[in-house]
Amino acid sequence: MASGAAPTLVRLERVGKVFPNGPAIEDLSLSVGEGEVVSLVGPSGCGKSTTLRLIAGLDAPDTGAIVWSGGAAPAMGFVFQDPTLMPWATVEANVALPLRLRGRDRAAMQGEVRSALAALGLADAGGLYPRELSGGMRMRASIARALIERPRLLLMDEPFAALDEMTRFRLNDDLLRLRRDTGATILFVTHSIYEAAYLSDRIVVMSPRPGRAVAEIAVDAPPDREGYRHAPAFMEMCRAVSAALRTAGAEAAA
Amino acid sequence: MTPPRALAPLTALALALAAWETLVRVNGVPAYILPAPSLVLTTLWSDRAVLAPSLLVTLRTAMAALFLATTGGLALAILFARARWLERALYPFAVIMQVTPVVAIAPLLLIYAEPQTAVLACAFLVAFFPILANASLGLSSTDRGLVDLFRLSRATRMQELVHLRLPAALPQILAGIRIGGGLSLVGAVVAEIAAGTAGAGAGLAFRIVEAGYRLNIPRMFAALVLIALAGLVIFAVLNWLSARLLSPWHESAAPRRLG
Ligand SMILES: Nc1ncnc2c1ncn2[C@@H]1O[C@H](COP(=O)(O)OP(=O)(O)O)[C@@H](O)[C@H]1O
Ligand SMILES: [Mg+2]
């Protein structure tokens, strides 16, 4: 799955996006294969969120193209940096939202909602309101909602940045397990080198604004990542990503 | 154990009334200058045949005005949220209506409309703006992330309104209705005084004016007490309703955590 053999799901071809205060990304090319976990790392403000929004169709690129393998964009799940839950709705209703907006009736989606909650360890939290949850549980609910429609592509924008480190580690492992169980394709934005090295099959390093993909690093690690966090190979990977980021920054400054 | 929260204001009220009663009795102040609280209380009972129907008239006017202001204000706020140009075109007039004192509008309305209609219109005018302004603010400050989420699910504009913008704006909408509820009573009272309607449609404010002409000071006080009570009841009912609707999820209404 880490190899380049997987068929491409989506390809960005020299994509650019200009905001009133100047270009945010420029000539950005990258691809994501079916079943692959790709991380996007880069300094803050380099256009990582913008890239995800373009892929999700929430914004349109000014130049370049986004090409989907099937021709049209598939169903996508999006996990924002904030959990973005509706405070007036229970966890269950929040997770069920995408199905409800498609006009599915309550009874028919009960089972799906319950299994999505269970998959993220929220089996007992369905009746609670967001304000009653911890930060980690809110993020779990947000992920459950993004997965409820079994999207072909899961876009995640620094989902764990606001969480404490222990919670973050646990959610990293949960995400790996989910990925193993569902074979989901994930494009994951993070500014944590460790997180990128731990989760990804491939890491794309972006330059400072205007963002371009300046390096790609393939991660060669056992799929279940058992003990990988403490393996010398992991530290080696972190060093490599860190070096690529430094080079990207130096190039832009020169 | 802390005493119930109502204890302090109730004690203050009792002390003030006792002082008032004593002052009137000790100095032998005549009732046409300042009636004792006990006399006001007995007047409330003895004049009930006049006061109770008037209380109903005023309450009914205020409630009808609040209902119309709520439906109208909410509907216009929804229109504004859909079409910004409409908001730019109409909002200044809503502001002008609001800043013009209703006392000044009432005599004019009375020329064109039946007294009861004019009174209702005045009460509506003062209650309408805070409801519109609050609902407008609420509907336009929906969380950007949630809007994106709805767009991602290809929600229709109707779904976005019903499942996102309206519930998100509920705290502000209810705040507007709470303000409007108090103001609708003010509007009704002011317009009644300007209208001076006698007969079956006479509200509490008219009773005050009428009793003033007849130097029936105890009845003036009794009617005033009823107006204040009506205001309190409106306030309490709307606060209760608002807390009920927001209680499971909103910070303002959530039960305090122990600890
Ligand atoms: N809607 C917008 N309007 C104007 N500028 C924006 C907008 N969205 C993002 N930007 C700017 O574009 C740049 C890239 O933003 P973003 O994609 O959020 O960066 P990142 O997620 O990598 O931190 C930033 O400098 C940001 O200020
Ligand atoms: Mg970002």
Min Cα separation B135/chain A (Å): 17
| Position A254 confidence tier, pLDDT thresholds 50, 70, 90 | very low
pLDDT at B69: 97
pLDDT digits (tens, 9 = 90+) for B146-157: 999 999 999 999
Average pLDDT, rounded, for chain B:
91
Partners of residue A151 in chain B, C-beta under 8 Å: none
pLDDT digits (tens, 9 = 90+) for B108-145: 888 898 888 999 999 999 999 999 999 999 999 999 99
Shortest-distance Cα residue to atom 4 of ligand 1:
A19
> Kindly report the CA angle at A166 between A163 and A167, in degrees rounded to 5?
45
pLDDT at B253: 63
Distance, CA of A93 to CA of A46 (rounded, Å): 35
Which tops the pLDDT comparison, B245 or B98?
Answer: B245
Q: Which of residues 185-244 of A touch B (CB under 8 A)?
A: none
Min Cα separation B154/chain A (Å): 8
Token pair of A168 as six digits: 């973050």
Of A78, A100, A131, the CB nearest to B152: A78
* B259 pLDDT higher than 60: no
Alpha helices in B113-216 (DSSP H): 115-140, 144-152, 157-159, 166-195, 204-213
A17 CA closest ligand 1 atom index: 12
| Residue among A78, A217, A242, A216 at smallest CA distance from A157 | A78
A20 CA closest ligand 1 atom index: 4
| Position B94 confidence tier, pLDDT thresholds 50, 70, 90 | confident
- Region B67-75: what's the mean pLDDT? 97
Candidate of A50, A53, A81, A190 to mutate for ligand 1, largest count of ligand atoms within 8 Å of Cβ? A50
Which tops the pLDDT comparison, B98 or A23?
Answer: A23
Q: How far is the CA of A49 from the centre of ligand 1 (A)?
A: 7
- Region A101-109: what's the mean pLDDT? 86
The pTM (predicted TM-score) of the whole model is 0.87
Residues flanking ion ligand 2, Cβ below 5 Å: A 49
pLDDT digits (tens, 9 = 90+) for B21-62: 999 999 999 998 999 999 999 999 999 999 999 999 999 999
pLDDT digits (tens, 9 = 90+) for A171-222: 999 899 888 888 889 999 998 899 999 999 999 999 998 999 999 999 888 7
pLDDT at A179: 87
* A112 pLDDT higher than 80: yes
pLDDT at A223: 74
pLDDT digits (tens, 9 = 90+) for B206-220: 999 999 999 999 999
Which tops the pLDDT comparison, A223 or A104?
Answer: A104
* A3 pLDDT higher than 60: no
Instruction: Kindly determine whether residue B149 and residue A84, on different chains, have CB atoms separated by under 8 Å.
Output: yes
Which tops the pLDDT comparison, A138 or B115?
Answer: A138
Q: Which domains does chain B show, CATH number per domain?
A: 47-246 (1.10.3720.10)
| Position A2 confidence tier, pLDDT thresholds 50, 70, 90 | very low
Instruction: Kindly determine whether residue A88 and residue B149, on different chains, have CB atoms separated by under 8 Å.
Output: no
Partners of A203 in the β-ladder? A39, A217
Residue carrying structure tokens 């393996």 = A231
Which tops the pLDDT comparison, B1 or A246?
Answer: A246
Question: pLDDT > 90: what percent of chain A?
Answer: 66
Q: How far is the CA of A42 from the centre of ligand 1 (A)?
A: 13
Give the range among A38-47, A70-79, B196-205 with minimum mean pLDDT. B196-205
Q: How far is the CA of A79 from the centre of ligand 2 (A)?
A: 12
> Kindly report the CA angle at B175 between B170 and B181, in degrees rounded to 5?
120
Closest Cα in chain A to B245 = A88
Read off φ and ψ for residue A26, nearest 5 degrees: -145, 130
Distance, CA of B195 to CA of B127 (rounded, Å): 19
Buried b (16+ CB within 10 A) or exposed e, A126-147: bebbbebbeebbbbbbbbbbbb
Partners of residue A153 in chain B, C-beta under 8 Å: none
* B197 pLDDT higher than 70: no
Min Cα separation B129/chain A (Å): 26
Axis crossing angle, helix B115-140 with helix B48-82, rounded to the nearest 10: 40
ipTM for the complex? 0.89
Distance, CA of A5 to CA of A36 (rounded, Å): 11
